[in-house]
């Protein structure tokens, strides 16, 4: 058994389906990492948009500043927009993400900017603290909430699991395609599948369920083009009941600070 398992990388994705930001230290809140997926694009019917429909979203770059996030679109003449961490004023609307309907606040200025960059009518919305989106009851333990993630507060993947996948590809891919929040190293490949409860810096975290993978990992983050070979390779050894699984969804049992380099311990 490896001597220690450590946190290799931490990522947040401030706007759902846009590029992530690697950070060294993160605040873990009830609904996930601070600033993670608190913003989301929706269409004219207030239904969420993601790379599944608009693969171009992966091309937007984000940089965290003291006041928020600088978003740039390199294809559109490096047009940029400064997005604050939070907003309190704006039009209050209900938005749909999968089977959930959530209260949100539209940031009209950002809506106009994204509509221009994408050449479609869309809105950028923020999830305020008063908006509680609950994890599906089948896997929840204590009425946990999440942000505009696909369904859970955190996603964990081990570097060793990605290494195992890359053995089956002619050209290796990077972890960022799978959009994890926590990347660990020092474990066996897919050892995370066996865990039930883990601990990071006195934060107890429940391993809720494996993450079902969609088309997003096949999208090249540099080009926005789909490469079916990734899911084809995964299907050979990570498919169960016609679904591909890669990574584990997590539920934090308490809050705190997590930092790259910290040790992860298996409780159960």
SS3 readout for 52-78: CCCHHHHHCEEEECCCEEEEEECCCCC
Q: What is the pLDDT of residue 1?
A: 45
260 within 8 A of 10, measured Cβ to Cβ: yes
Structural domain count of the chain: 1
Residues of the domain holding 53 = 5-266
Looking at residue 89, its pLDDT comes to 95
CA neighbor of 115 nearest in space, from 67, 76, 65, 89: 76
Half-sphere exposure of 110 (CA within 13 A, CB side): 25
pLDDT of residue 189: 97
- Per-residue confidence (pLDDT) for residue 3, from 0 to 100: 67
The sign of the dihedral angle between the CA atoms of 167, 171, 174, 178 is negative
Asked if 185 and 8 touch (Cβ cutoff 8 Å), the reply is: yes
CATH number for 200: 2.40.33.20
Q: What is the full per-residue pLDDT of the chain (268 aa) written as tens digits?
A: 446 999 999 999 999 999 999 999 999 999 999 999 999 999 999 999 999 999 999 999 999 999 999 999 877 666 899 999 999 999 999 999 999 999 999 999 999 999 999 999 999 999 999 999 999 999 998 999 999 999 999 999 999 999 999 999 989 999 999 999 999 999 999 999 999 999 999 999 999 999 999 999 999 998 999 998 888 999 998 999 899 999 999 999 999 999 999 999 999 8
As a whole number of angstroms, the distance between CA 213 and CA 226 comes to 14
This prediction has a pTM of 0.96
Question: For 74-204, where are the alpha helices, taking DSSP H only?
Answer: 108-118, 159-166
């Amino acid at each position: 058994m490896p001597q220690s398992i450590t946190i290799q990388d931490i990522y947040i994705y401030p706007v759902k389906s846009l590029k992530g930001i690697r950070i060294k230290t993160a605040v873990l809140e009830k609904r996930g990492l601070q600033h993670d997926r608190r913003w989301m694009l929706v269409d004219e019917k207030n239904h969420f948009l993601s790379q599944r429909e608009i693969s171009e979203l992966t091309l937007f770059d984000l940089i965290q500043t003291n006041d928020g996030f600088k978003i740039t679109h390199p294809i559109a003449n490096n047009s940029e927009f400064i997005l604050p961490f939070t907003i309190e004023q704006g039009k209050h609307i209900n938005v749909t993400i999968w089977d959930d309907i959530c209260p949100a606040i539209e940031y009209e200025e950002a809506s106009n900017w994204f509509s221009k960059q994408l050449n479609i009518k869309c809105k950028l919305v923020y999830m305020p603290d008063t908006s509680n989106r609950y994890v599906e009851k089948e896997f929840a333990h204590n009425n946990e909430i999440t942000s505009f993630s696909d369904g859970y507060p955190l996603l964990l993947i081990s570097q060793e699991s990605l290494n195992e996948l890359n053995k089956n590809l002619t050209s290796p891919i990077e972890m960022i395609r799978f959009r994890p929040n926590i990347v660990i190293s020092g474990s066996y490949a897919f050892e995370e599948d066996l865990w039930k409860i883990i601990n990071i810096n006195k934060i107890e975290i429940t391993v809720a369920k494996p993450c079902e993978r969609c088309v997003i990992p096949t999208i090249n983050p540099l080009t926005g083009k789909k490469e079916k070979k990734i899911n084809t390779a995964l299907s050979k050894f990570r498919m169960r009941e016609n679904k591909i699984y890669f990574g584990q969804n997590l539920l934090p049992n308490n809050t705190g600070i997590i930092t790259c380099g910290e040790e992860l311990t298996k409780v159960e």
